[in-house]
């Protein structure tokens, strides 16, 4: 009995001890608050011990100064934009909430995407909340605060009623994008033809003016455009891809405590619905914030969750593998700048995916040039034969082809050919190439074929004038070919000059490849200079070749 009583008393004592220990620990739901209070108290004690302008710890400096300098955008409606009352938006309200939580004044400093990280490094701002995607590349430049305060994705926007549900529908379509957008590579990888613009605002302008049919950009950016009823009545989001978490960021040096404090604060803001409610107030998409709130008010609601990979979104991996010769290309760039004073950026030779695109584009352009160089004279010969020697139905058919080809602008001919190809076999790289070769060959071959037929007719007339016996058809045709060789050569050159237009129907030739490269390398001047030089040189080099072949034809005809 005594033993039982002793055991019971021990159990009760242990239970009481455990209960009192539990009371001493903050409840899980209050753990984040306690951690925040502890971090802030430590920093305040440090600040109270003596403030120095050159204090290493950024958090201490902020508390000493009594001001938090936050870098914000000024032209990103709904997130941070100028209004009659000053700057307003989701990010501005978040900055205010952070300053209030720290008990300091808020100083908003305008930043741009180009300088928002540099200003952290130069200690001109303490924190940036400026529509910045958290990428693996930027992790080396700034310290990002997790959990993230927002997440955007790239959306494809197009006219209502236009069927477009996924990447497969984008093949061969023109889509307007901004230069340097990380998601451009994915669009070009699905054979979309990119039209590049400097700023997102131009995309909305172009869509409104119907100069762009499709555009791709962050959903956060389009949120403001869709707030306009006229825009929303005409356009809709077709689909989204490439989600990227947005991170507040602080500098790399002396920011361990500040980053830790802001991480705890972000978790609290998710838990308490501050991020969610603020976003809802400004009418921006809240899907990500709803999921985050659910997580941080449930299983992630503890200080240890700040180290838990399942509670935190990973940064977007954007590191681009370099080519083995990237170092040599750097050296060439430096040499050009030093010796010639020109700033050339040869990004297409330094990034492995860009190099793949350029190499394949050059091969496809070579195939196109070779294809049209063969198709044009072949079609010319067929049309010349039909017009010069064929029966009436054949002559009419050839005549019809000539009139049709001469009545239709090149771009329209290519588009019709591509539409027929797509309808019959579907557009692939190979079918696109063949379609472009046939279309360009038909256009130029019909002109050259008519020139052959004219030459044959003139030879007949000459023979009739001289009262000569009729020349055998095969000889007449050969001499006709020789007489029309200048015209045939001119139209072969014309066809070669027209090959870049094949990019209009999505053929991945060099123009398309370099446009794709420029779209994610954010470099255009050198790229398009190289392109212009490539095509002009190709034509200049092929002119003597075509002329030499024509001379050969003429000599053989005169020798016989």
Partner 1 sequence: MTAFFDALPPGFLLHLLGGVSINFWIAAIGLLLGLAVGLPLAICLASGSRWLRWAASPVTALMRAAPTFVTMYFLFQVLQAGPGGGTALSPVMTVAWALMPYAAAYIADSGADALRHWRAGSFSAALLFLPNLVRAYFVMVMSSGISAAIGVQEGISIILRQANAMGSFPQQLGVYLLGILVFGSIMQVGLLGVGALRRFAIALMLNRANRRAAAQSDLDFDGSRIDPTE
Least separation in angstroms between residue 541's CB and partner 1 is 9
Least separation in angstroms between residue 274's CB and partner 1 is 36
DSSP 8-state class, residue 505: G
Find where tokens 């005809």 sit.
557
- Residue-by-residue DSSP string for 380-435: HHHHHHHHHH--HHHHHHHHHHHHHHHHS-HHHHHHHHHHHHHHHT---HHHHHHH
Least separation in angstroms between residue 375's CB and partner 1 is 18
Classify residue 97 as left (phi > 0), alpha (psi -120 to 50) or beta: alpha
Could you tell me the two tokens for 47?
């600040």
In sequence order, the β-bridge partners of residue 11 are: none
Residue 197 or 477 having the CB closest to partner 1: 197
Residue 19 or 529 having the CB closest to partner 1: 529
Least separation in angstroms between residue 529's CB and partner 1 is 7
- Does residue 254 have a cis peptide bond before it, meaning omega lies within 30 degrees of 0? no
Residue 59 or 175 having the CB closest to partner 1: 175
Q: Is 223 within 8 Å of 78 (Cβ atoms)?
A: yes
Residue 109 or 419 having the CB closest to partner 1: 419
Residue 16 or 532 having the CB closest to partner 1: 532
Distance CA 392, CA 395 (A): 5
Least separation in angstroms between residue 551's CB and partner 1 is 18
Least separation in angstroms between residue 377's CB and partner 1 is 20
Residue 196 or 261 having the CB closest to partner 1: 196
Residues interacting with partner 1, by CB under 8 A? 159, 161-162, 174, 176, 195-198, 206, 209-213, 403-404, 406-412, 415-416, 419, 423, 497-501, 503-504, 511, 515, 518, 524-525, 527-529, 531-532, 535-536, 539-540, 543
Least separation in angstroms between residue 186's CB and partner 1 is 21
Q: Is 72 within 8 Å of 91 (Cβ atoms)?
A: yes
- Residues with Cβ within 8 Å of 177's Cβ and at least 6 positions away in sequence, in order, are 184, 187, 194, 195, 196, 197, 203, 215, 216, 217, 519
Least separation in angstroms between residue 538's CB and partner 1 is 8
Smallest CA-to-CA distance from 259 within 249, 267, 270 is with 249
Residue 25 or 199 having the CB closest to partner 1: 199
In sequence order, the β-bridge partners of residue 215 are: 157, 176
Least separation in angstroms between residue 183's CB and partner 1 is 19
Over the range 440-473, which residues count as b (16 or more CB within 10 Å of their CB) and which as e? bbbbbbbbbbbbbbbbbeebeeeeeeeeeeebee
- Residue-by-residue DSSP string for 268-300: HHHHTTHHHHHHHHHT---HHHHHHHHHHTTTT
Smallest CA-to-CA distance from 79 within 284, 229, 269 is with 284
Residue 331 or 420 having the CB closest to partner 1: 420
Residue 347 or 459 having the CB closest to partner 1: 347
Residue 208 or 237 having the CB closest to partner 1: 208
SS3 157: strand
How far is CA 80 from each of CA 115, 209, 289, rounded to the nearest angstrom?
A: 16, 26, 18
Least separation in angstroms between residue 494's CB and partner 1 is 10
Residue 13 or 404 having the CB closest to partner 1: 404
Could you tell me the two tokens for 527?
């790229």
Q: What is the 3-state secondary structure (H, E, C) of 176-235?
A: EEECCCCCHHHHHHCCCEEEEECCHHHHHHHHHCCCCCCEEEEHHHHHHHHCCHHHHHHE
Least separation in angstroms between residue 158's CB and partner 1 is 10
Least separation in angstroms between residue 549's CB and partner 1 is 18
DSSP 8-state class, residue 472: P
Residue 214 or 262 having the CB closest to partner 1: 214
Least separation in angstroms between residue 198's CB and partner 1 is 5
Q: Is 381 within 8 Å of 449 (Cβ atoms)?
A: yes
Residue 22 or 163 having the CB closest to partner 1: 163
- Residues with Cβ within 8 Å of 530's Cβ and at least 6 positions away in sequence, in order, are 348, 514
SS3 513: helix
Could you tell me the two tokens for 160?
């209502």
Distance CA 436, CA 505 (A): 8
Cα dihedral 74, 78, 82, 87 in deg (nearest 10): -80
Residue 412 or 548 having the CB closest to partner 1: 412
Least separation in angstroms between residue 537's CB and partner 1 is 8
């Amino acid at each position: 009995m005594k033993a039982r009583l002793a055991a019971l008393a021990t159990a009760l004592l242990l239970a009481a001890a455990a209960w009192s220990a539990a009371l001493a620990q903050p409840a899980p739901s209050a753990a984040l608050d306690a951690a925040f209070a502890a971090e802030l108290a430590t920093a305040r004690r440090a600040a109270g011990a003596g403030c120095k302008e050159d204090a290493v710890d950024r958090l201490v400096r902020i508390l000493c100064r009594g001001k938090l300098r936050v870098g914000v955008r000024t032209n990103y409606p709904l997130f941070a934009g100028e209004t009659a009352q000053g700057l307003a938006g989701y990010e501005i309200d978040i900055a205010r909430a952070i300053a209030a939580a720290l008990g300091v004044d808020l100083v908003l400093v305008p930043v741009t995407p180009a300088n928002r990280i540099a200003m952290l490094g130069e200690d001109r701002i303490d924190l940036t909340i400026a529509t910045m995607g958290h990428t693996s590349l930027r992790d080396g430049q700034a310290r990002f605060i997790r959990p993230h305060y927002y997440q955007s994705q790239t959306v494809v926007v197009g006219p209502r009623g236009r069927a477009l549900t996924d990447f497969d529908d984008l093949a061969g379509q023109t889509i307007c994008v901004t230069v340097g957008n990380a998601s451009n590579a994915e669009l070009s990888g699905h054979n979309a033809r990119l039209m590049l613009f400097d700023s997102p605002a131009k995309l909305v302008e172009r869509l409104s003016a119907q100069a762009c049919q499709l555009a791709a950009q962050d959903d956060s950016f389009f949120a403001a455009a869709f707030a306009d009823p006229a825009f929303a009545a005409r356009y809709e989001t077709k689909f989204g891809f490439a989600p990227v978490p947005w991170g507040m960021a602080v500098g790399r040096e002396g920011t361990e405590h500040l980053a830790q404090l802001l991480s705890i604060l972000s978790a609290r803001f998710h838990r308490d619905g501050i991020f969610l409610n603020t976003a809802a107030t400004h009418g921006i998409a809240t899907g990500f914030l709803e999921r985050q709130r659910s997580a941080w008010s449930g299983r992630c609601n503890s200080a240890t969750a700040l180290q838990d990979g399942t509670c935190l979104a990973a940064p977007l991996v954007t590191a681009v593998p370099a080519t083995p010769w990237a170092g040599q290309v750097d050296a060439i760039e430096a040499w050009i700048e030093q010796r010639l004073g020109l700033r050339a950026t040869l990004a297409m030779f330094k990034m492995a995916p860009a190099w793949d695109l350029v190499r394949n584009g050059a091969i496809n352009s070579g195939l196109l040039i070779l294809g049209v160089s063969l198709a044009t004279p072949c079609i010319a010969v067929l049309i010349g034969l039909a017009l010069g020697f064929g029966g009436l139905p054949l002559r009419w058919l050839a005549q019809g082809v000539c009139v049709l080809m001469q009545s239709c602008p090149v771009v329209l001919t290519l588009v019709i050919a591509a539409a027929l190809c797509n309808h019959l076999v579907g557009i692939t790289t190979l079918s696109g190439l063949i379609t472009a070769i046939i279309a360009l060959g038909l256009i130029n071959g019909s002109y050259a074929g008519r020139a052959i037929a004219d030459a044959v007719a003139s030879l007949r007339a000459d023979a009739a004038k001289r009262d000569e016996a009729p020349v055998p058809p095969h000889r007449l045709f050969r001499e006709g070919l020789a007489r029309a060789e200048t015209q045939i050569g001119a139209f072969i050159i014309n066809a070669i000059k027209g090959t870049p237009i094949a990019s209009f129907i999505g053929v991945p030739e060099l123009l398309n490849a370099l446009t794709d490269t420029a779209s994610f390398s954010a470099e255009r001047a050198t790229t398009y200079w190289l392109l212009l030089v490539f095509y002009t040189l190709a034509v200049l080099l092929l002119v003597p070749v075509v002329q030499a072949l024509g001379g050969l034809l003429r000599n053989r005809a005169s020798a016989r």
